[in-house]
Chain A
Amino acid sequence: MKKVYNRILSIVGNVISVRAEGVSNEELAEVKTKRGTSLAKVIKLDNDMVSLQVFAGSRGISTSDEVRFLGAPMKVSFSEDMLGRIFDGSGKPRDNGPMLNENMIEIGGPSVNPSKRIIPKRMIRTNIPMIDVFNSLVVSQKLPIFSISGEPYNELLARIALQAEVDMIILGGIGLKFDEYMYFRDKLEKGGALSRSIFFIHTAADPVVEGLMVPDLSLAVAEQFALNGKDVLVLLTDMTNFADAMKEIAITMEQVPSNRGYPGDLYTQLASRYEKAVDFEGAGSLTLLAVTTMPGDDVTHPVPDNTGYITEGQFYLRNGRIEPFGSLSRLKQQVNKDTREDHRAIMDGMIQLYAQYLETEEKRSMGFRMSDWDKKLLKYGGLFENEMMDLSVNISLEDALDNGWGILNQCFEPDETGFRSELIEKFWPKS
């Protein structure tokens, strides 16, 4: 059944084409070159002309190299043995452990039936006030971290991974720098979390196309663990690299680009990955956090823009802090009604005041005289930034709420805050 073809008709970018029959769409093939063997995936069929994207890149491929079709789409092994292991972008071990070949599962499987989904209602506490108080993370949520290069996004990701209450962690690295990869490994090892983690790492040194499989591999394995009752946290970094790899293939295939060279199906492609986040009724769950770096700090860039429409909110990382504006957890309403009755009021009220502070700050920097009200706002803004926004703050949700009332009390009279009277009576610090 496994036919071998050794006449490659064209090599353009990382896409090769051969004439072959009986090949199915998205089937996997092996390309044997002098440098070694690489996997390739069928991406287009036109009569007997088959186009394949070569994961290891086309560099060094000869027109007489062997192409052997494997008769099945990409699969990955799934077992408990994977825990603590590190794999590369095509699912091969990157550590020195054995190759895993048992219990192969298909990747990029069908989508979950919406009528089987349940309303998410379990909060994941992280002890980061900007998340817990203002934008609570919820089981089964899909959330990107929007960031510019140089921000400590991987540090934040690692901290959430260590502090979040989940059963296991799957890290998918796409175009990760080698030292970032080592950072994650060391951090999780020190935190004692490596034995409940699985890594799929594609580094910046690896062929670009290989990174395309990382999200699918990570999510397929995570989905299986979730079906087996585990609460899985999937971390993907960085999805902009993934989108760029897709762009590269699309341009090679001469697809009409839609926006800044990205293919028209960028939204659909990203969505089919992000939508894997789910809470299975009667089984486990899959929560997805993904870093999306914004080229030039531009949130209207196609990648963050499309991502924002797909995910259930986003965390903006700017100047080393989770920015309160723009950051949003769409699922927070599901959980923050059951935490403490002042949770929602603090969440909205403090942000509204912080917005006014920023306006005052702008006036101040333009040299206007500050009214009494302005002075109050300035004091408030400073306290808020230091005691709530700073990423080093590591306190529980309840402590953070109390802290919020404390800050308000230091700066304002109760009726200046716009809170409902009953809450003020109950929570405004006396004396």
Chain B
Amino acid sequence: MANVNKGHITAINGNMIAVAFEDSIIQNEVGYVLIDEQRLKSEVIKITDDTAFMQVYEITKGLKVGDEVEFTGEMLSVTLGPGILSQVYDGLQNPLPAIAEGYGFFLPRGVVLDPISYKKKWHFTPTAKQGDVVYGGSIVGWVPEGVFEHKIMIPFDFKGEYTVESVQKEGDYNITETVTVIKNAKSEKINISMSFEWPVKIPITAYNQKLVPTEPMVTKVRIIDTFFPVCKGGTYCIPGPFGAGKTVLQQLTSRYADVDIVIIAACGERAGEVVETLREFPELIDPQTGRSLMERTIIICNTSSMPVAAREASVYTATTLGEYYRQMGLNVLVLADSTSRWAQAMRELSGRLEEIPGEEAFPAYLESRIAEFYERAGYVELLDGSHGSMTIGGTVSPAGGNFEEPVTQATLKVVGAFHGLSQARADARKFPAIGPLESWTKYLGIIPDERVKDAHHILRRGNEVHQMMMVVGEEGTSTNDFIYYLKGEYLDFVYLQQNGYDPVDAVSDPKRQQYVFDKIYDILYTDFHFDSKKEARHFFNELRQLTIDWNYIKMETDEFKVQEKNIDKHIQSAVSKKADKNDLKRSGNK
């Protein structure tokens, strides 16, 4: 590239600039605005005649009409290779800790650092051999990255068949050194190193086929795993008004979900929330691997005060990195918090482009963009026959907590599970505030479907009675109905709710869930008879207390067994009393 393609600014409106150019340019091509010593990254988003409209990924303060713009000829890309895990990036894959080291408290404009180290040596073990036929996505070897075997692959954009010409011996290499040479049908040799670039807005599809997700992704949150499960490779969304606990729920999931890799895309949300993850994860131990949780985590952090255009890019960066690790046969979970901020970034841009607005000024292509994003999730069969998955969970922050708004509705159309958070439950300090009556899932979980439906029936019935009681009062309700109500409340209190801050109760593994669910199921379908509502309320209050205490006890302990016996005894007291009464009746009849 001897001649750099250049243009100059003709107009500035917020973070959008118009650039006059001469040579040909590419839609979504990256360019740099040159100002003083800085290079501000920008992306072409619209081209009319000889003007390109570009969004600038930085603050545009101080730019002038006439400032020079340099085009790169490449679309917005991320660097893929070993060393991505446990990194903290901004939306454009700039490592934030490295920026902090160099520049202190603030994020200076126009700083671009290497996303992964070009110097670090990785221990490469070849798996391909001379003469092997390979395709884009084929594995030629691996390096250890934390606890994982990081597979070295032929770049995904290589079309057609190639033959391995030579493979380097086992040894230490950096990411730019050639580890394999392959040749194409015309016998041209191509050097393959351990890293390559991939445009973020293009899905990676170097696999055999996409399959239907069937294996549950356990989150250790009871209401999710039991009632509204998500499968590996599936999609789900968590809409909720502010303060309903979306982020806390995401944080719990990012810690305890049984996947290999978690990618957190903090998209336009509070910086403080990311900080918790940033500071706590390195200290937390992953029970599955015994290593720090950070080793399986990537954080893409483009918080609300960071440039809005980079926010738009951040969800794509996250999914691209997720797809890359999926190609290695790993199970990846991408958590996007929040997709509404991403949609708003699109809206801001659309407004500046003076596009005809759709509902609530969101652009007309909102729905298709959201669908494209979630469609990147999936459970896939890779070229070597193994499987990998990428699950996407997105929070939605609907304006005014009203689910009728465009982003929520567009999301509900494409996801496989809906965990709707309710303000009423959050206000009553019920955590997680997932509304059990509104939420739904298309996936099957760890508890047989019929039993879940039965339990759900009690909830629904209990709620009906509750609604009725609000109108006719407690005295107008039959004791039988009242018991339904108490059973529903009981299930809600001891099973649906979970204390996210208690080390035992916050983490309910499948074994425990199945065990406890069976116990509670039996209670729900036990016939109780009480003389008065007061007696019934008293009985259930005590039962609730016993069960809550049970929830705080580790399952392997003797205490757990003891407490279970206490619960049984308490149940027995009500059931046997009923038997006594029946005896009395019979003797009276004689």
Contact = CB atoms under 8 A, between A and B. Distances in A.
Does B bind A?
yes
Given A116-B104, A264-B351, A420-B552, A111 B64 contact: no
Contacts of A259: 360-361, 399
Nearest to A300: B400
A415 interface: yes
A359 B467 CA distance: 11
Given A256-B354, A258-B347, A258-B360, A112 B65 contact: no
A111 B399 contact: no
Interface in B1-42: 10-14, 18
B548 A420 contact: yes
Contacts of B304: 267-268, 271-272, 274-275, 310
B177 interface: no
B545 interface: yes
B170 interface: no
A325 B243 CA distance: 10
A118 B138 CA distance: 42
B491 to A, nearest CB: 15
Contacts of A140: 272
B400 A305 contact: yes
A113 interface: yes
B12 A45 contact: yes
Contacts of B268: 267-268, 271
A24 B64 contact: yes
Interface in A288-305: 299-302, 305
A38 interface: no
A26 interface: yes
Interface string B422-435: 00000111000000
Interface in A117-149: 117-120, 140
Interface in B399-446: 399-402, 427-429
B549 A372 contact: no
A382 interface: no
A227 B12 contact: no
Contacts of A305: 242, 399-400
Contacts of B13: 44-46
A363 to B, nearest CB: 6
Contacts of B361: 256-259, 264
Interface string B333-363: 0000010010010011011001001001110
Contacts of A120: 272
B100 A415 contact: no
Contacts of B534: 371-373
B87 to A, nearest CB: 10
A327 to B, nearest CB: 9
Given A73-B62, A119-B275, A416-B541, A113 B552 contact: no
A363 B63 contact: no
Contact of A116 (B100, B241, B306, B428): B100
A348 B498 CA distance: 13
A362 interface: yes
Interface in B501-541: 501, 533-534, 537, 541
Interface size class of B (residues with CB under 8 A): 35 or more
A352 B99 CA distance: 45
Contacts of A331: 272
A114 B276 CA distance: 10
B475 A369 contact: yes
B252 interface: no
A271 B275 CA distance: 17
Contacts of A366: 473
A418 B544 contact: yes
- Give the one of A112, A120, A314 with max B CB within 10 A: A112
Interface stretch (B106-114, B186-194, B318-326): B106-114
Contacts of B104: 113, 116
A47 interface: yes
Contact of A24 (B63, B241, B501, B549): B63
B61 A25 contact: yes
B585 interface: no
A112 to B, nearest CB: 6
B232 to A, nearest CB: 29
A344 interface: yes
Nearest to A325: B427
Contact of B347 (A45, A117, A264, A372): A264
Most buried by B among A44, A117, A302: A117
A115 interface: yes
A355 B305 CA distance: 36
Q: Which of B105, B269, B270 gathers most chain A CB within 10 Å?
A: B105
A271 B305 contact: yes
B105 A267 contact: no
B278 A115 contact: yes
A311 B242 CA distance: 9
B279 interface: yes
B97 interface: yes
Contact of A44 (B12, B99, B351, B533): B12
Nearest to A268: B308
B47 to A, nearest CB: 18
Contacts of B278: 114-115, 117
A360 to B, nearest CB: 10
Contacts of A267: 268, 304, 341, 344
B428 A355 contact: yes
Nearest to A273: B305
Given A258-B347, A421-B549, A308 B242 contact: yes
A265 interface: yes
A115 B97 contact: yes
A296 to B, nearest CB: 13
B301 A114 contact: yes
A414 B100 CA distance: 52
A299 B109 CA distance: 36
A134 B13 CA distance: 44
Contact of B533 (A108, A268, A309, A371): A371
Contacts of B103: 113
A122 to B, nearest CB: 14
Given A111-B306, A300-B400, A309 B242 contact: yes
A263 B357 CA distance: 13
A312 interface: yes
A415 B270 contact: no
A98 B344 CA distance: 44
Name the residue among B10, B427, B501 with the largest chain A CB count within 10 angstroms: B427
Nearest to B532: A371
Contacts of B306: 111
Contacts of A83: none
Contacts of A308: 241-243
A186 interface: no
Contact of B537 (A276, A306, A310, A373): A373
B243 A313 contact: yes
A280 B105 contact: yes
Nearest to B340: A309
Given A113-B105, A300-B401, 8 more contacts: A47-B65, A113-B106, A116-B104, A120-B272, A256-B354, A256-B361, A348-B429, A352-B428
Interface of A: 21-27, 44-48, 73, 108-120, 140, 227, 255-259, 263-265, 267-268, 271-272, 274-276, 280, 299-302, 305-306, 308-314, 325-326, 328, 330-331, 333, 337, 344, 348, 351-352, 355, 359, 362-363, 366, 368-369, 371-374, 415-416, 418, 420-421
24 contacts: A44-B13, A45-B64, A48-B65, A109-B106, A112-B106, A114-B271, A115-B100, A116-B105, A117-B275, A119-B276, A255-B351, A258-B360, A259-B361, A275-B303, A299-B400, A300-B401, A302-B399, A313-B243, A337-B501, A348-B429, A363-B470, A418-B541, A420-B548, A420-B549
Interface of B: 10-14, 18, 59-66, 88, 96-97, 99-100, 103-109, 241-243, 266, 268-272, 274-276, 278-280, 301, 303-306, 308, 338, 341, 344, 347-348, 350-351, 354, 357, 360-362, 397, 399-402, 427-429, 470, 473-475, 493, 501, 533-534, 537, 541-542, 544-545, 548-549, 552
